Structure 1
Amino acid sequence: MLRTIGIMVIISLLFTSGCGFKDIDKRFFVVAIGVDKGKEKNYEVSIKLVIPSSAIEPGKSKFQVVSREADSISEALQTLNSEVDKELDMGHTKMIIISRELGNEKVPEVLNGFMRRRDIQRIEYLALGEPSAKAILETNPKSERLASNSLFLIFGDEGTESPFIVTEYLYDFYKRMLEHGKDPFLPIINIREDRFEINRVSIFNKEKMVMTLSSEETAIFSQLAHKHSNIEIEASEGDKRYALSVDDYDYSYNFSDSNLENPKINMDVTIKTIAVESNQPLFDKDWSELEVIVEKQIKDRYMSLLEEMKMNKVDPIGFGLRYLATHQNGDQDWEKWKKIYPKVEFNINVNVTLKGTGAIK
């Protein structure tokens, strides 16, 4: 009896299929995906594939970029899988780039194609590419040791840290597209010679891109959205020029909506600085004069950006979300906020403290 059972088990094992596991040398790791507007079909999808190499040197990263046009993201990726000799593995994908041209038209559709896929982790960095997403993927900076590692270091704050670089993730952008009171935004990647230039941000409503910030506005947006403190502030009055490095930055705000015809957002900004550049002696001067100059100019810059966003009916900072969180009437509060926001008046109080004049007088 036992012998018969053993024979049956052996026979069943012979007809049992494997688990589908593929060795690492039979996989192509996709590190970045780019989506452009297709010439003949809806999309041109490009993927950046890592080619393993024993030598890891700056400017010597090995990769392959393959592209395919299709009417859907899934169709393009499935077709690309048939054009390479290894299985596409997206478990290491850390970057999704959408061309700025496509960003003006079909961002919700593109995101839908990624959010539903099981092999996309949704923690990928998301950005707009100019002139195209494919061109960004094909760029190989001289300092890059691994394929697309430059972008990972930039957006992950592991390498450079700059107020002009604003990081956005796939999951957060999609969440902003759906929820009330907080609109989405994306950084813009440009190619400058053989390196990346990232110092602007585009802001979206729930359907399309509505405004693009300059580099100066992007730095202010970074302060408001993420309280980025690694910044330098330039100020001037007449022939006086100053540059201040920020040691500490914070702000808070509250709503004053008792009068629905004149609602207000009262914002208090606190900045502690050290002078890093000046064409005037500072050590034995009255610093309060400089502090007043800086406070006024910061207030004017903040007011300009906030009024521009209000005029375009977008709220990437999340004032509306805070309003809903501090009120308890659900959809009624949202309808009320939509009437309040176009009328809101920003009262900004900036308090700048100069702690020192740097290494010299």
Structure 2
Amino acid sequence: MKKRSLIVLMLTLLVGCAPPKQIETLGIVSSYGADLLHEDKALDNTFLYKQFDPDIPEAIQAVESQANTYEGALDTANLKTNYKLVTGQIRVKVFGKELAETGIMRVLSPHFKNAEEPASLYLLVSETTAREVLTIDTSIDLSKYLYNLIDNNQKREILPESDFFDFVHKYEDIGIDPIQPLVTIEKQKPVIESIALFQNDVYVDSLSPKQTFLVKLMTESFKAGKQEMSLSKQPFEEFIEEDEDKHKDEEFHFVLSEIRSKSKILLNDKKNLSYDVNISLDARLMELSVPLLIKDEKVLKKLEKQIEDNFKEQLQEVMDKTKELNVDPMGFGTTYNQETRNNELTEEKWREMYPNIDVNFNIDVNIIRHGIFD
């Protein structure tokens, strides 16, 4: 009993002797940005950090440093502030486009060895420099702004699901390439302009928001998505009531909302690299720009068929672009590897094969309700 009491007393004393962590002495890093220095390809770094010091009027500060590595950048940044910079709450890492074009894995790899950094965070590519994105507006918490910019749009199903682990998973797997949001500056605020396409860890080009929707349509399931579309008026001329549109556009516009979809990529001919992409999509029709007689079942079926054909055409354009760039964000190579159980498939071999694949799109569109037109 005495022995047990002594142990408890010793543990209590040890805990009491542990040096307290005074949060007022810490700079809590919330964002990191990396750009390329042209002279020697070193890193030009920006850290945003928070301070919990009541005597500091600006709680969020930026510190800049130059180094060849991420850890070196953090050490150099520490020499420029009297706060100890800690990265346990980092939420966003931003890479300037020029750096991304040389590869970003060298900056990301230290994350695996640093147990202090969080398990997940968002990655961004910037059309401008990462520094400009992180310092463009000092009146707001840019780390929180950027994190919510991605997180909210992923939850709204506008952006595909992508974060640090998604990037690394696709970087390491053969037959699929990462994608991440690409931001630019608009009216003194960072905005998501498009989606960055990577070949391995090298940024090569981008997809527009509409093209991004199509990639997501092939690779993920929508639960409550939304998409604006345009179709030619010509096939519907006899079903359009008196049109008050003075401009007489050749197209009409509408929105598909509450999109629910499922997709499956199938390899149906291993020798000729022929694939089927099967997509089923249910949606509600909203905001027609012309008075189309949508209650007519014949019109509804024609509209569904035109939407299917339009999707096929756009999907083929995305395929042509990714094959030309030799990037595979849809994971056709992963499907090939799984179906053939070919353990000898290498990165180099798939890069040779991918531009030659043939993809057939089978799309079934079902307009289940038509909103205000009921």
TM over 0.5: yes
Q: Distance in 2 between matches of 1:131 and 1:192?
A: 11
CA distance 1:252–1:158, change in 2 (3 Å): closer
1:212 aligns with 2:206: yes
CA distance 1:202–1:75, change in 2 (3 Å): same
Q: CA deviation at 1:192?
A: 0.7
Q: CA deviation at 1:79?
A: 1.2
1:124 equivalent among 100, 121, 142: 121
Secondary structure at 2:165's aligned position in 1?
helix
1:151 equivalent among 146, 151, 167: 146
Contact 1:63 1:147 in 2 (8 A): no
Q: CA deviation at 1:243?
A: 1.3
What is the one-letter code of the residue matched to 1:90?
T
Q: Distance in 1 between matches of 2:347 and 2:265?
A: 19
Contact 2:48 2:134 in 1 (8 A): yes
Contact 1:115 1:122 in 2 (8 A): no
CA distance 1:149–1:297, change in 2 (3 Å): same
Q: 1:296 corresponds to which residue? A: 309
Q: Distance in 1 between matches of 2:19 and 2:254?
A: 60
What is the one-letter code of the residue matched to 2:177?
D
1:47 aligns with 2:44: no
What is the one-letter code of the residue matched to 1:291?
E
In structure 2, runs of 5+ residues without a counterpart are 1-5, 234-249
Q: 1:250 corresponds to which residue? A: 262
Contact 2:257 2:286 in 1 (8 A): no
Q: CA deviation at 1:207?
A: 5.0
Q: CA deviation at 1:135?
A: 1.2
What is the one-letter code of the residue matched to 2:78?
N
Q: Distance in 2 between matches of 1:53 and 1:275?
A: 53
Q: 2:357 corresponds to which residue? A: 344
Matches within 5 A, 1:212-361: 212-228=206-222, 229-238=224-233, 239-247=250-258, 248-258=260-270, 260=271, 262-278=272-288, 279-285=290-296, 286=298, 287-331=300-344, 340-360=353-373
Contact 2:265 2:332 in 1 (8 A): no
What is the one-letter code of the residue matched to 1:245?
L
Q: Distance in 2 between matches of 1:61 and 1:289?
A: 60
Q: CA deviation at 1:53?
A: 8.2
Contact 2:227 2:257 in 1 (8 A): yes
Q: Distance in 2 between matches of 1:265 and 1:210?
A: 25
Q: 1:26 corresponds to which residue? A: 25
How many residues are matched?
341
Q: What does the per-residue CA deviation read over 1:234-277, in whole Å, with 9 as the maximum and x for residues that have no partner?
A: 1311335131324311111211125x2x3311111111122212
What is the one-letter code of the residue matched to 1:204?
F
Q: CA deviation at 1:29?
A: 0.6
Matches within 5 A, 1:89-238: 89-140=86-137, 144=140, 146-157=141-152, 161-163=156-158, 165-206=159-200, 208-228=202-222, 229-238=224-233
CA distance 1:303–1:122, change in 2 (3 Å): same
CA RMSD of superposed structures (Å): 3.1
- Of 235-244 and 189-198, more deviation after overlay is shown by 235-244
Q: CA deviation at 1:40?
A: 4.9
Q: 1:3 corresponds to which residue? A: none
Q: CA deviation at 1:113?
A: 4.0
Query: Which runs of at least 4 in structure 1 moved beyond 6 Å after TM superposition?
Result: 333-336
Q: Distance in 1 between matches of 2:218 and 2:83?
A: 45
Q: Distance in 1 between matches of 2:318 and 2:83?
A: 49
Q: Distance in 2 between matches of 1:80 and 1:333?
A: 40
- Of 267-276 and 149-158, more deviation after overlay is shown by 149-158
Secondary structure at 1:156's aligned position in 2?
helix
What is the one-letter code of the residue matched to 1:264?
S
CA distance 1:128–1:340, change in 2 (3 Å): closer
Q: Distance in 2 between matches of 1:326 and 1:194?
A: 49
Q: 2:71 corresponds to which residue? A: 74
Q: Distance in 1 between matches of 2:44 and 2:130?
A: 9
| Percent of matched pairs sharing the same residue | 20
Contact 1:153 1:160 in 2 (8 A): no
Contact 1:154 1:160 in 2 (8 A): no
Q: Distance in 1 between matches of 2:134 and 2:331?
A: 32
What is the one-letter code of the residue matched to 1:191?
I
What is the one-letter code of the residue matched to 1:138?
T
Q: What does the per-residue CA deviation read over 1:107-162, in whole Å, with 9 as the maximum and x for residues that have no partner?
A: 232223444334333511111123111111113387x5x45212222222389725
